[in-house]
């Protein structure tokens, strides 16, 4: 938001500059006659020559060049400014014309030798030659060549040095097209040669080779410095912040740029200070209060710490204040009383505690407020709802208390976005509002994990409501038809409540519904909604009975259908094959019987199929090979009777294959072509009737050694070969399973030593080698220091830590665990999480799939959600704890 403002400021300033330059000579009405003869013929022909070399890229955009024709004096052409006395063209503005041209050495533009101002921004110019004629523009003071999409041509800078009168220079390029390099030598030349510069803007130019201390040589007359996304790295010299004329500095999105704000005597005429997404750190200085002209301050996602200085109270011109995602703490000082112009205030994701300072409620212009993800407590006072200009409010993930009533909310007439989630003591009451009040602008109403007991029926008339999230509350019993009828919501999340019945679904345009983990009984709800709008349906974890109604086959746009953990029975309806968009089908833990129907059409989008824990029988349908995107196939705990599905080996995305506890039988072939199950990470064929030589797997009748080749399955997360008759040594190649988190070789006849290479498995958190015939010294170090006796019991020849039996040569005293309590518990937590499913990496993937209830949220929200997910791993709560060098799992995803 701030960016746009400053961008337009710059344009505006540039424009003023241009006006200023030519003002003395601008045409007065009376001199229009002489103007007709003002244009100099040689300059007119230069311009016409230039026109003849251009192409218009987008024909539908009208462009100024259309006015360039001989019948009009060239001083009247669009984009041209002339000197009134001599008739020279001194200004040329062709910005945003969508024209395409080459700037060669011979370009006729270089014949305009009196040019003072040139703006070609946002066109498609290319530079086929490596040298141009810039030196002929001796009078140029203003040059804007931003966003031209030129190829790698850092030599352009060599030309720019030849323009000693330049006051304003903008050579920004589009983000991500980082081929435009400015090296340190050229940057030095630039700052030495261009001593008149007041505006320097090089956004997204690759300046990774520029030493930040070079910026110390910038001229003291500099007013605007735009170096956003320039790959600057190292220490930024804080003296630059003290340049006496500086009004704007934008260093944002230079992630590796470190630095501090000046700690004392800071006073500059700053209006705009943007440091977001950098590594600036340290405390915010008290002297920040000296920046009396400051209008926008964006410190989003830096590493500032300490508390907020009270001197903020003096920034009376401030309109935009963003301290998101730092390490700030303490209470938010009560300093907002005089900041009447503040419209955007965000302290999201810091460690602020205490109550919301009351002076915030004086900010009547405020439209955006986020205090989410802190440790704020106390109640939300009723005068909060007098901030009538609020459009977006985030107070989630705090410890706020009290009851919000419908009447209070109805005062915020502009409100579009409200997130009060994760305040476990905060409740919501339907009281007061006339049932016809429409909350005319409300789009997002997020109140998850609070203390709500009743469905907020007052939102029935909210015409623009997109998302209603009241999951994880205490809403019980029935939702009546009148409470929801006609509601326009698209994303409805009622998961984790105590609902027993939903009268019917009278919604118009539902896109996603989440009813997981309620107490719904009887049969699956019949949803009357627009059939082809519904995309995600989650009704798992209820007490539903009966069959899947055939009407569900009419949800032709359905991408996710999750009905797991109910008591549904009957056959899986064949008509589900109509759901051509389905990517996740989860019918786990029900009572479905019969064969798995032939649902799997060519070009199927299915990537996840869970049928675990039913009573399915027969064979795996061979049409599963049509699911070329299939990543997870889980048919464990059924009565399937088939041979090993080699034919699935061609599915190059398949990562998880669970066949456990069925009646699969026969041999599993040993031949594995390179593509065969090439992505497989988890395979579980335990409790079947497989026979013959390995490649696997637990509770079968495998015998012989573990094949060395298993080490090639280097994305394996879990390997369970327990309860077989495997013999021989543990192959050292298993040390190559770099991602392995769980290794269970228990209850076999393995012999020899435990290979030292297994200590390379830095993510290994579960090891079970018990009940084998292993001997010798248990390897030490890394993860091996975390395993207990249980990993090794029943191997009478093993010795060393953690067993009490010492090895002969060993001196007493086992090596101490490298992990302190704190990190151990973290790991345990992460483990628990991991093992709730099939392995950590995967579970993260899955739960994201489930959480990602993708909505059309505004970009800034999405950004925040992403950040919040990062933050879950911990800024506020874990920031002071040392990171261990090898924290397993989460680090990778």
Cβ proximity to ligand NAG, 407 vs 643, nearer residue:
407
Cβ proximity to ligand NAG, 348 vs 385, nearer residue:
385
Token reading at 557: 């746009």
Cβ proximity to ligand NAG, 170 vs 295, nearer residue:
295
Cβ proximity to ligand NAG, 507 vs 850, nearer residue:
507
# chain residues binding ligand NAG, by CB under 6 A: 33
Measured from the Cβ of residue 567, the count of other Cβ atoms closer than 10 Å reads 13
Beta carbon of residue 291, minimum distance to ligand NAG (angstroms, whole number) = 11
Beta carbon of residue 161, minimum distance to ligand NAG (angstroms, whole number) = 4
Residues 362-421 that bind ligand NAG (CB under 6 A): 362, 364-365, 377, 388-389, 399, 401, 403, 405
Over the window 271 to 310, marking each residue x when it contacts ligand NAG by CB under 6 A and - when it does not, the resulting string is ------------------x--------------------x
Cβ proximity to ligand NAG, 214 vs 557, nearer residue:
214
| Nearest of 190, 235, 182 to residue 210 by alpha carbon | 182
Token reading at 317: 């011109």
Cβ proximity to ligand NAG, 158 vs 786, nearer residue:
158
Cβ proximity to ligand NAG, 105 vs 714, nearer residue:
105
The helix (run of H) or strand (run of E) holding residue 9 is: helix 2-23
- The only residue of 19, 31, 217, 478 in contact with ligand NAG, by rule CB under 6 A: 217
- The only residue of 48, 76, 313, 519 in contact with ligand NAG, by rule CB under 6 A: 313
Residues 163-182 that bind ligand NAG (CB under 6 A): 164
Whether the Cβ atoms of residue 239 and residue 215 lie closer than 8 Å to each other: no
Whether the Cβ atoms of residue 538 and residue 516 lie closer than 8 Å to each other: yes
User: Binding of ligand NAG at residue 434 (CB under 6 A)?
Assistant: no
Question: What are phi and psi for residue 52, nearest 5 degrees?
Answer: -70, -15
- The only residue of 53, 67, 208, 214 in contact with ligand NAG, by rule CB under 6 A: 214
Beta carbon of residue 399, minimum distance to ligand NAG (angstroms, whole number) = 4
Q: Which residue number is nearest to ligand NAG in terms of Cβ?
A: 337
Cβ proximity to ligand NAG, 458 vs 784, nearer residue:
458
- The only residue of 9, 193, 219, 287 in contact with ligand NAG, by rule CB under 6 A: 193
Measured from the Cβ of residue 655, the count of other Cβ atoms closer than 10 Å reads 24
User: Binding of ligand NAG at residue 601 (CB under 6 A)?
Assistant: no
Residues 529-558 that bind ligand NAG (CB under 6 A): 551, 554
Binding region for ligand NAG (CB under 6 A) out of 358-366, 515-523, 730-738, 880-888: 358-366
User: Binding of ligand NAG at residue 317 (CB under 6 A)?
Assistant: yes
| Nearest of 293, 466, 429 to residue 861 by alpha carbon | 466
Whether the Cβ atoms of residue 469 and residue 448 lie closer than 8 Å to each other: yes
Beta carbon of residue 377, minimum distance to ligand NAG (angstroms, whole number) = 5
- The only residue of 314, 349, 742, 783 in contact with ligand NAG, by rule CB under 6 A: 314
Beta carbon of residue 554, minimum distance to ligand NAG (angstroms, whole number) = 4
Return the sign of the alpha-carbon dihedral for residues 94, 98, 101, 103.
positive
DSSP 8-state class, residue 760: G
The whole-angstrom separation of Cα 457 and Cα 450 is 17
Cβ proximity to ligand NAG, 45 vs 365, nearer residue:
365
Beta carbon of residue 195, minimum distance to ligand NAG (angstroms, whole number) = 8
Cβ proximity to ligand NAG, 313 vs 793, nearer residue:
313
Pairing of strands 89-93, 80-82: antiparallel
Cβ proximity to ligand NAG, 403 vs 623, nearer residue:
403
Beta carbon of residue 750, minimum distance to ligand NAG (angstroms, whole number) = 49
Beta carbon of residue 591, minimum distance to ligand NAG (angstroms, whole number) = 24
Beta carbon of residue 783, minimum distance to ligand NAG (angstroms, whole number) = 34
Beta carbon of residue 286, minimum distance to ligand NAG (angstroms, whole number) = 7
Residues 138-167 that bind ligand NAG (CB under 6 A): 158, 161, 164
The whole-angstrom separation of Cα 701 and Cα 871 is 47
Beta carbon of residue 555, minimum distance to ligand NAG (angstroms, whole number) = 9
472 class by beta-carbon count within 10 Å (0-12 exposed, 13-18 middle, 19+ buried): buried
Cβ proximity to ligand NAG, 177 vs 554, nearer residue:
554
In a 3-state reduction of DSSP, which class is residue 478? Answer: strand
- The only residue of 12, 32, 61, 216 in contact with ligand NAG, by rule CB under 6 A: 216
The whole-angstrom separation of Cα 243 and Cα 258 is 19
β-partners of residue 630 are: none
Return the sign of the alpha-carbon dihedral for residues 523, 528, 531, 537.
negative
The whole-angstrom separation of Cα 354 and Cα 332 is 8
Beta carbon of residue 392, minimum distance to ligand NAG (angstroms, whole number) = 14
Beta carbon of residue 893, minimum distance to ligand NAG (angstroms, whole number) = 28
Beta carbon of residue 460, minimum distance to ligand NAG (angstroms, whole number) = 18
Q: Helices 821-835 and 840-851, interaxial angle, to 10°?
A: 70
**DSSP string covering 608-639:** EEE--SSEEEE---GGGGG-TT--EEE--SSE
* Residue 548 vs residues 314, 567, 639: alpha-carbon distances, Å: 64, 11, 21
Pairing of strands 425-429, 718-720: unpaired
Binding region for ligand NAG (CB under 6 A) out of 72-80, 209-217, 473-481, 884-892: 209-217
| Nearest of 536, 532, 493, 526 to residue 509 by alpha carbon | 532
**DSSP string covering 763-829:** T--EEE--SSEEEEEPP-SGGGGG--GGGTTT-TEEESTTSSSPPTTPPSSPPPPS--HHHHHHHHH
Cβ proximity to ligand NAG, 294 vs 737, nearer residue:
294
Beta carbon of residue 186, minimum distance to ligand NAG (angstroms, whole number) = 9
Beta carbon of residue 324, minimum distance to ligand NAG (angstroms, whole number) = 22
Question: What are phi and psi for residue 868, nearest 5 degrees?
Answer: -60, -40
User: Binding of ligand NAG at residue 508 (CB under 6 A)?
Assistant: no
Calculate the CA 280 to chain-centre distance.
21
* Residue 646 vs residues 222, 622, 667, 677, 719: alpha-carbon distances, Å: 70, 11, 11, 9, 19
Token reading at 17: 């500059």
Over the window 333 to 352, marking each residue x when it contacts ligand NAG by CB under 6 A and - when it does not, the resulting string is ----xx--x-----------
Measured from the Cβ of residue 824, the count of other Cβ atoms closer than 10 Å reads 13
User: Binding of ligand NAG at residue 858 (CB under 6 A)?
Assistant: no
Q: Which residues of 361-483 form beta strands (DSSP E)? A: 368-370, 375-379, 392-394, 399-405, 417-419, 425-429, 444-446, 467-469, 476-479
User: Binding of ligand NAG at residue 316 (CB under 6 A)?
Assistant: yes
The whole-angstrom separation of Cα 282 and Cα 620 is 61
Beta carbon of residue 429, minimum distance to ligand NAG (angstroms, whole number) = 4
**DSSP string covering 287-321:** GGGG-TT--EEE-TTSEEEE---GGGGG-TT--EE
User: Binding of ligand NAG at residue 189 (CB under 6 A)?
Assistant: yes
Beta carbon of residue 431, minimum distance to ligand NAG (angstroms, whole number) = 4
Residues contacting residue 880 through CB under 8 Å, at least 6 positions apart: none
- The only residue of 26, 69, 105, 431 in contact with ligand NAG, by rule CB under 6 A: 431
Contact positions toward ligand NAG, by CB under 6 A? 158, 161, 164, 189, 193, 213-214, 216-217, 289, 310-311, 313-314, 316-317, 337-338, 341, 362, 364-365, 377, 388-389, 399, 401, 403, 405, 429, 431, 551, 554
């Amino acid at each position: 938001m701030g960016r746009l403002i400053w961008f337009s400021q710059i344009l505006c300033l540039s424009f003023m500059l241009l006006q200023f330059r030519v003002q003395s000579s601008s045409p007065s009405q009376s001199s229009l006659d002489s103007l007709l003869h003002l244009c100099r013929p040689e300059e007119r022909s230069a311009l016409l020559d230039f026109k003849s070399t251009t192409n218009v890229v987008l024909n539908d955009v009208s462009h100024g060049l259309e006015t360039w024709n001989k019948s009009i004096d060239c001083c009247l052409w669009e984009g041209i400014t002339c000197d009134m006395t001599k008739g020279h063209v001194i200004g040329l503005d062709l910005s945003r014309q969508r024209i395409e041209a080459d700037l060669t050495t011979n370009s006729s533009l270089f014949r305009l030798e009196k040019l003072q101002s040139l703006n070609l921004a946002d066109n498609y110019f290319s530079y086929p030659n490596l040298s141009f004629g810039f030196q002929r523009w001796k009078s140029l003071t203003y040059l804007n060549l931003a966003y031209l999409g030129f190829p790698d041509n850092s030599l352009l800078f060599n030309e720019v040095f030849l323009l000693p009168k330049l006051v304003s220079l903008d050579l920004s390029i589009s983000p991500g097209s980082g081929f435009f390099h400015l090296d340190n030598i050229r940057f030095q030349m630039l700052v030495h040669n261009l001593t008149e510069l007041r505006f320097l803007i090089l956004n997204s130019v690759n300046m990774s080779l520029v030493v930040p201390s070079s910026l110390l040589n910038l001229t003291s007359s500099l007013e605007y410095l735009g170096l956003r996304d320039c790959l600057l790295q190292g220490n930024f010299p804080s003296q630059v912040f003290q340049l006496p004329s500086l009004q704007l500095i934008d260093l944002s999105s230079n992630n590796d740029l470190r630095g501090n704000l000046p700690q004392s005597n800071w006073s500059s005429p700053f209006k705009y200070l943007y440091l977001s997404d950098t590594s600036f750190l340290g405390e915010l200085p008290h002297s920040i209060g000296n920046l009396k002209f400051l209008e926008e301050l964006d410190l989003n996602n830096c590493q500032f710490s300490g508390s907020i200085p009270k001197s903020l109270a003096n920034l009376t011109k401030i309109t935009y204040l963003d301290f998101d995602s730092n390490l700030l703490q303490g209470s938010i000082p009560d300093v907002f009383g005089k900041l009447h112009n503040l419209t955007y205030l965000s302290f999201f994701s810091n460690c602020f505690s205490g109550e919301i300072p009351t002076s915030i409620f004086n900010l009547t212009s405020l439209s955006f407020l986020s205090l989410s993800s802190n440790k704020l407590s106390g109640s939300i006072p009723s005068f909060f709802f007098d901030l009538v200009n609020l459009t977006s409010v985030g107070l989630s993930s705090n410890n706020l208390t009290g009851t919000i009533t419908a009447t209070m909310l109805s005062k915020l007439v502009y409100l579009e976005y409200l997130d009060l989630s994760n305040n476990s003591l905060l409740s919501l009451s339907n009281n007061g509002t006339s049932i016809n009040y429409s909350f005319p602008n409300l789009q997002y109403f997020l109140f998850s994990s609070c203390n709500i007991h009743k469905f907020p029926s007052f939102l029935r008339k909210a015409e623009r409501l997109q998302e209603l999230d009241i999951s994880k509350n205490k809403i019980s019993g029935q939702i009546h038809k009148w409470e929801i009828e006609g509601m326009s919501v698209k994303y409805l999340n009622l998961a984790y409540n105590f609902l027993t019945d939903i009268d019917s679904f009278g919604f118009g345009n539902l896109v996603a519904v989440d009813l997981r983990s309620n107490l719904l009984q009887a049969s699956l709800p019949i949803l009357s909604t627009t059939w082809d709008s519904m995309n995600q349906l989650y009704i798992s974890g209820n007490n539903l009975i009966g069959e899947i109604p055939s009407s569900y086959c009419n949800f032709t746009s359905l991408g996710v259908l999750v009905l797991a953990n109910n008591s549904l029975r009957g056959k899986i309806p064949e008509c589900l094959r109509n759901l051509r968009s389905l990517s996740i089908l989860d019918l786990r833990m029900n009572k479905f019987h019969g064969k798995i129907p032939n649902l799997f059409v060519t070009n199927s989008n299915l990537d996840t199929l869970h049928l675990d824990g039913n009573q399915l029988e027969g064979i795996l349908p061979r049409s599963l090979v049509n699911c070329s995107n299939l990543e997870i196939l889980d048919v464990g705990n059924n009565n399937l009777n088939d041979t090993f599905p080699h034919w699935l080996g061609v599915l190059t995305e398949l990562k998880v294959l669970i066949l456990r506890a069925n009646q699969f039988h026969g041999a599993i072939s040993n031949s594995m072509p390179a593509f065969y199950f090439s992505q497989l990470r988890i395979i579980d064929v335990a409790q079947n009737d497989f026979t013959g030589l390995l490649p696997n797997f637990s509770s079968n009748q495998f015998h012989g050694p573990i094949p060395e080749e298993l080490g090639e399955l280097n994305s394996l997360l879990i390997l369970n070969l327990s309860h077989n008759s495997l013999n021989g040594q543990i192959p050292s190649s298993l040390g190559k399973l770099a991602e392995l988190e769980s290794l269970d070789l228990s209850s076999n006849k393995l012999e020899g030593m435990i290979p030292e290479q297994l200590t390379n498995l830095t993510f290994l958190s579960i090891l079970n080698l018990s009940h084998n015939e292993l001997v010798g010294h248990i390897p030490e170090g890394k993860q091996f220091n975390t395993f207990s006796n249980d990993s090794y019991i029943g191997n009478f020849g093993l010795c060393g830590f953690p067993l009490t039996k010492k090895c002969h040569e060993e001196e007493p005293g086992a090596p101490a665990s490298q992990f302190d309590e704190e990190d151990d518990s973290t790991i345990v937590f992460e483990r628990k999480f991991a093992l709730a499913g099939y392995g950590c990496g995967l579970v993260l993937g899955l739960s994201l799939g489930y959480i990602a209830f993708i909505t059309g949220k505004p970009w800034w929200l999405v950004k925040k959600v992403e950040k919040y997910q990062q933050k879950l791993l911990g800024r506020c709560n874990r920031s002071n704890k040392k990171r261990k060098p090898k924290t397993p799992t989460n680090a990778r995803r």
